[in-house]
Amino acid sequence: MTVHHFEPTQYYTTIGSHAPALVVEDGDTVVTTTVDAHGQGASGDQVTPPGNPMTGPFYVRGAEPGDTLAVTFDKLTPNRPHGWSRKMVAPNVVEPEHVPFLPWPADEAKAYAIWQVDNAAATVTLIDPADTSIGSLTLPINSMVGCFGVAPADGQAISTATSGQHGGNMDYRGYGEGVTAYLPVFVEGALFHIGDGHALQGDGEIVGTGVEISFDVQFTVRVIKGLRSRWPRGENGEYIFTAGNARPLDQAVQHATSEMLLWLNADYGLDAVGAHILMGQCVEYDLGNIYDPAYTMICKVSKRFLPAR
């Protein structure tokens, strides 16, 4: 159980079978940093070109196709005092007739709001933009990883703008500190990538961003041999959950629900009828994102209604 301190020197805007940046063992912990979606780091400087640049990939020894990689996000700490968000709900999120009435910014420079991020106070405060009377606005911090994943199958290199069975840009605010994510392994070593930190984000990432910021990150990896998963999963103190990434949202729901049914059957000893009855009255869904090329829907079941694993 080594703790690796890793300083990234290269970033990727695809998730794929890139040369490993670091080789770690099953159970190891990595302490590293991520730049924001625009490629800006802790100092605010441009470290790498924009487009959700990823730190990694991390090769996890022992991980093979057919296994599942568990990654616990031990710490997700904004490492600079300012984040940014876009200011307009994306046109695909409102009625088509409503689109011309959106507050289109006069130019790209006016498209962004700046937020002060205070780790000690655990708050995110809007710095009063000139073009609205909303004034200041202080919200509770909720650090989360917008984009992370493992190398996909078949030699693909998938843009960090989108997501799939390998994870990717799911932009789900439930992938926060203390959460364990599970990812199907497609290639030897899994090749875990991470980046695109948000100090806060609403459901759906409907303005196309959270409060985008660079992070100090600590995560721990674990290989679950022989556990076949097909879509990203997750777990926190209260819930287990699955992620479906697709368009339209209906299809994302189908993937997440099917994956949850498989999980309940395989790991909780629930037969099909039992799992269906339970989910019918207990299931919850979260809208991860409705902005990226693939949308994300989350299917959740509270652990208090589940038998022991």
63-122 binders of a second copy (CB under 8 A): 85-104, 113
Query: Is the link from the previous residue into 248 a cis peptide, with omega within 30 of 0?
Result: yes
| Cα dist from 285 to 119, 172, 183, 205, 272, whole Å | 29, 12, 19, 15, 20
The half-sphere exposure of 118 on its side-chain side, counting CA atoms within 13 A, is 12
Q: Which of 301, 202, 295 has the alpha carbon at shortest distance from 250? A: 295
- Closer Cβ to a second copy, 150 or 207, answer by number: 207
- Out of 74, 203, 216, 235, name the contact with a second copy by CB under 8 A: 203
- Closer Cβ to a second copy, 101 or 109, answer by number: 101
Q: Checking DSSP bridges between strand 167-168 and strand 144-150, what pairing results, if any?
A: antiparallel
Report residue 218 as tokens.
Answer: 């600590």
In contact, 29 and 54? CB cutoff 8 Å: no
Q: Which of 230, 295, 228 has the alpha carbon at shortest distance from 258? A: 230
- Closer Cβ to a second copy, 221 or 240, answer by number: 240
Segment near a second copy (CB under 8 A); pick from 2-10, 68-76, 143-151, 256-264: 256-264
167 sits near a second copy (criterion: CB under 8 A): no
- Closer Cβ to a second copy, 2 or 133, answer by number: 133
The two most distant CA atoms of the chain are separated, in Å, by 58
Segment near a second copy (CB under 8 A); pick from 27-35, 73-81, 126-134, 175-183: 126-134
246 sits near a second copy (criterion: CB under 8 A): yes
User: Distance between CA 32 and CA 54 in Å, rounded?
Assistant: 12
295 sits near a second copy (criterion: CB under 8 A): yes
- Out of 132, 178, 228, 266, name the contact with a second copy by CB under 8 A: 132
**Would you give the binding string for a second copy spanning residues 179-198, x where CB under 8 A is met?**
--------------------
Which residues in 262-281 contact a second copy (CB under 8 A)?
A: 270-281
Which residues in 143-162 contact a second copy (CB under 8 A)?
A: 154-159
In the complex, least distance from residue 109 CB atom to a second copy, rounded to whole angstroms: 14
CB atoms near residue 65 (< 10 Å): 12
Site size toward a second copy (CB under 8 A) is 85
User: Distance between CA 196 and CA 177 in Å, rounded?
Assistant: 14
- Closer Cβ to a second copy, 155 or 178, answer by number: 155
Q: Checking DSSP bridges between strand 54-60 and strand 192-198, what pairing results, if any?
A: antiparallel
In the complex, least distance from residue 229 CB atom to a second copy, rounded to whole angstroms: 14
In the complex, least distance from residue 209 CB atom to a second copy, rounded to whole angstroms: 7
